[in-house]
A and B are shown apart, each in its own frame.
Chain A
Amino acid sequence: MTETELTKEIKSGSARAFDEMVAAYKDMVVNTCYGFLRDRHDAEDIAQDVFLEVHRSIHTFQEKSKLSSWLYRIAVNKSLNLAKKKKRRQLMSSLQARFGGEESPAEIPDTNMPNPQADLEQAERVQILQRAIDSLAENQRIAFTLSKYEQLSYKEIAEVMATTLPAVESLMNRAKMNLQKKLRKYYENG
């Protein structure tokens, strides 16, 4: 079934078509969410919310873009919203710990390495890089994450972000440049 046919079937209320879409895109959505959240449980929960949102609002999807692009867009928005909420919560708990005298729970890194202990240096590098990515401007972060985690082409990223190809090229160049700058600052100070 093509994407257009699948969309049409889902719009007509076919549960089978919806299941087919979930089967086809669930890994893509989970991985995209993971790229922004770096926590498997959160990524899975948000991916569920993405499909619930699709189920709720498929009638508003006008098929001006590909179904996959629409899914990416919802996944990015929901992931970034949760990432912001988590950041706020972390800030609050660290403030509470600082002023309330409580110890904040130790952060357990989810580095997605097959065996993090086997290569601690590598795990540390991943964390350093992830922090640098998180501190990029939002649109640079989106473009960079979609490119690196989902291996989307610049053209595909342009469709997801509803922008032009030159704009994505520029975002990617700036993202790489800023990452290098941040990493240089980190290593030079070390």
Chain B
Amino acid sequence: MTRPENTGNVEEQIQKTLRCLDEVEKAKASPFFAQRLRQRLADMDGQGRRGSLADLLMGWLRPAFVPALVAASVVLGVLIGSDTSSGSRAGNLQSFVSSYGLDAPETNDYFLTHGE
């Protein structure tokens, strides 16, 4: 950078330079400052909430709860197994296939509908 033309004495230059700060305008926040901040706070809250849900789930996996959870799963499995006959299983499978249209012939209906 070039130095300002040194016409006056050095002291005058120094005083002129020091006075520059008196003329500096104050910086102001942009009009979207508060809006942006609110958005960032909302994002932070969301992360916090996700964190607390994860903490809650992890809480259930503490060693003290593990035997109880295993026992509950075994009991639930036995109850479901004893209640299901092979006939009803086949019926359930057929109704599942029909409900989701897995037995329908292959067509391009999906593309025709969405491709218009």
Residue of chain A at shortest CB distance from B39: A48
Query: Bound complex: CA of A126 vs CA of B69, how far in Å?
Result: 70
Decide if the interface of chain B is mainly helix, strand, loop or mixed.
helix
In the bound complex, do residue B3 and residue A22 qualify as a contact, i.e. CB atoms below 8 Å apart?
no
Contact with B along A103-135 (1 / 0, CB 8 A): 000000000101000000110111111000000
Query: Bound complex: CA of A43 vs CA of B14, how far in Å?
Result: 28
Residue A31, interface by CB 8 Å: yes
How large, as a class, is the contact surface on chain B? 20 to 34
In the bound complex, do residue A26 and residue B34 qualify as a contact, i.e. CB atoms below 8 Å apart?
yes
Stretch at the interface among A1-9, A81-89, A159-167, A178-186: A178-186
Residue of chain A at shortest CB distance from B22: A148
In the bound complex, do residue A183 and residue B40 qualify as a contact, i.e. CB atoms below 8 Å apart?
no
In the bound complex, do residue B34 and residue A19 qualify as a contact, i.e. CB atoms below 8 Å apart?
yes
B17 cross-chain contacts in A, Cβ below 8 A: 125, 128-129, 183
Report, nearest first, the 8 A-B pairs whose CB atoms are least far apart.
A34-B27, A190-B3, A26-B29, A30-B29, A183-B14, A187-B10, A125-B17, A31-B27
| 30 A–B contacts from the bound complex (CB under 8 Å) | A19-B38, A22-B34, A22-B37, A26-B29, A26-B34, A27-B29, A31-B27, A33-B27, A34-B27, A44-B29, A44-B33, A48-B36, A52-B44, A112-B24, A112-B27, A121-B4, A121-B5, A124-B3, A129-B20, A129-B21, A148-B21, A149-B24, A149-B26, A180-B18, A186-B3, A187-B3, A187-B13, A188-B10, A190-B3, A190-B6
